[in-house]
Amino acid sequence: MSIAKTFLGLLEAGPRHGYDLKRAYDERFGHDRPLAYGQVYATLSRLLRNGLVTVDGIEPGGGPERKRYAITDAGVADVDLWLGQPERPQPYLQSTLYAKVVLALLTARPASDVLDVQRAAHLRLMRELTRRKAAGDLADQLVCDHALFHLEADLRWLELTAARLDQLGAEVRR
Amino acid sequence: MSAGEPLLSAEGLRKAFGPTPALEDAAIAIAAGEVVAVMGPSGSGKSTLLHCLAGIVRPDAGRVLYRGRDLTACGDAELSALRRSEFGFVFQFGQLVPELSCLENVALPLRLDGAGRRDAERRARAWLERLEVAELAAKTPGQVSGGQGQRVAVARALATEPRVLFADEPTGALDSLNGEHVMQLLSAAAHDSGAAVVLVTHEPRVAAWSDREVVVRDGRTRTTALAGA
């Protein structure tokens, strides 16, 4: 999952310090793999260099200065592009999809569009595999079936998530 | 109907059953020979959409155009004749006539359409062969398995060489392997005969046999065009 895109999505909801970003990321998406501080500041440096975030303010303190980061228009456009593009269908992409759905809800975008675009991408690949299977030998059929069952599991997750969007929206905005 | 126009289309469809809305401004367009999967969760309105398209249910509002003809303006007798001669149907539970043999079941729509008995049975036998169930001709539906019965039902639906085949969860009662076989045969037979297929399903692996999908959610249709698709 792209840490940079996720940071941008979190910053779109409002400016944050690096530490706040890490905490928000860990709480929502980190689960048992929290971000290292090095990753946080390396990612923010890259986003700054690329003009996707800007330093919104600096607070002097007893320790090191605390920079507050804000998303730029280019950053918002980058989030738009990312959310609008389907992920390449592959097993175990739920964490990225989950992040996209949550960020769409957080930023008041239509999360159902994220799911629709992904469903269409999954079905397109499933059609290709089905055609390959219909024209292939038993080995082709088994290989394609394996992929098809995994993709189907993703799609079932997408449908379930679509049915729970209102509930999820209420939770993430709480 | 001019070239480029859809074979079957609907726009602004609304339908409620009592206080419960089933369709809300639904729209769809199907080209000749195209296989379109209508997907969505249970209760989303996908079967109601199929019934409206097939002239089985009259929408409260909106139009259904089949080859330029507005089905919502047709009388019951006209719709009935149209369904018999131009449309074919496959449902989740084959709905074969239990007292008739498999051959007689497939021949039935041909007989209703005016074919003589020998001609109807000859054509029915050819369709049973096409669906790989010729050996079941003399058996009754109660003597065949679910998958075999569904293949007989597909043969019956295609026997009149319909322009549109409506299939509502055609593999819903079958295991994966039998469902797969039915879809493979249905898809190939429909393609060979040039029939358009409206395939209602909530199963992605069944929808993968279609050319494209239309998703129904809360009675509304959603289509997604992918960049570069």
CATH number, domain containing residue B183: 3.40.50.300
Distances (CA, A) of A74 to A25, A85, A106: 21, 17, 19
**One domain, residues A71 and A4:** yes
Tens-digit pLDDT profile for residues B124-164: 999 999 888 999 999 999 999 988 999 999 999 999 999 99
Residue of A nearest to B222 (CA): A116
**One domain, residues A124 and A151:** yes
State whether residue B220 sits within 8 Å of chain A by CB. Answer: no
Q: Which of B201, B205, B211, B223 would best serve as a mutation to test chain A binding (most A beta carbons within 10 A)?
A: B205
Q: Which of A82, A125, A159, A164 would best serve as a mutation to test chain B binding (most B beta carbons within 10 A)?
A: A159
Query: Has residue B94 got a pLDDT over 80?
Result: no
**One domain, residues A76 and A92:** no
Query: Has residue B228 got a pLDDT over 50?
Result: no
Nearest to A120 among B208, B211, B224 (CB): B224
Is B165 part of any domain? yes
Distance in angstroms (rounded) separating the CA atoms of residues A78 and A51: 11
* CB–CB contact B207 A123 (8 Å): yes
Boundary residue ending a domain (A66, A84, A102): A84
Strand order in the sheet with B87-90: B87-90, B164-168, B196-200, B35-39, B212-217, B220-222
**One domain, residues A90 and A174:** yes
Q: Map tokens 């126009």 to a residue.
A: B5
Contacts of B213 in chain A (CB under 8 A): 119-120, 123
Query: Has residue B223 got a pLDDT over 80?
Result: no
Share of chain B above pLDDT 90, in %: 67
**One domain, residues A80 and A96:** no
Residue A15: give the domain boundaries: 1-84
**One domain, residues A54 and A132:** no
Q: Map tokens 């700054």 to a residue.
A: A48
State whether residue A80 sits within 8 Å of chain B by CB. Answer: no
Give the largest Cα separation in chain B, rounded. 53
Question: In Å, how far is B119's CA from the nearest CA of chain A?
Answer: 33
Q: What is the pLDDT of residue A96?
A: 84
Distances (CA, A) of A17 to A69, A134, B2, B62: 6, 54, 62, 54
Boundary residue ending a domain (A84, A105, A127): A84
Mean pLDDT of all residues belonging to chain B: 90
Nearest to A124 among B202, B222, B229 (CB): B229
Is B206 part of any domain? yes
Boundary residue ending a domain (A30, A60, A84): A84
Instruction: Give the predicted TM-score (pTM) of the model.
Output: 0.79
The pairing of strands B212-217 and B220-222 is antiparallel
CATH number at residue A56: 1.10.10.10
Q: What is the pLDDT of residue B78?
A: 93
Is B26 part of any domain? yes
**One domain, residues A67 and A126:** no
Which residues does chain A have with pLDDT short of 70?
31-32, 61-65, 90-94
Tens-digit pLDDT profile for residues B42-65: 888 999 999 999 999 999 999 999
Question: In Å, how far is B202's CA from the nearest CA of chain A?
Answer: 9
**One domain, residues A103 and A43:** no
State whether residue B205 sits within 8 Å of chain A by CB. Answer: yes
Residue B67: give the domain boundaries: 8-95+145-222
Into how many domains does chain B fold? 1
Contacts of B207 in chain A (CB under 8 A): 123, 126
Nearest to A130 among B209, B213, B226 (CB): B209
Q: What is the pLDDT of residue B226?
A: 44
Higher pLDDT, B89 or A87: B89
Distance in angstroms (rounded) separating the CA atoms of residues A42 and B87: 63
* Number of C-beta neighbours around residue B106 at 10 A: 30
* CB–CB contact B226 A86 (8 Å): yes
Q: Map tokens 């986003």 to a residue.
A: A47
Into how many domains does chain A fold? 2
**One domain, residues A2 and A65:** yes
Is B31 part of any domain? yes
**One domain, residues A118 and A138:** yes
**One domain, residues A71 and A122:** no
Q: List the one residue out of B116, B113, B99 whose CA is nearest residue B159.
A: B113
Is B115 part of any domain? no
**One domain, residues A115 and A66:** no
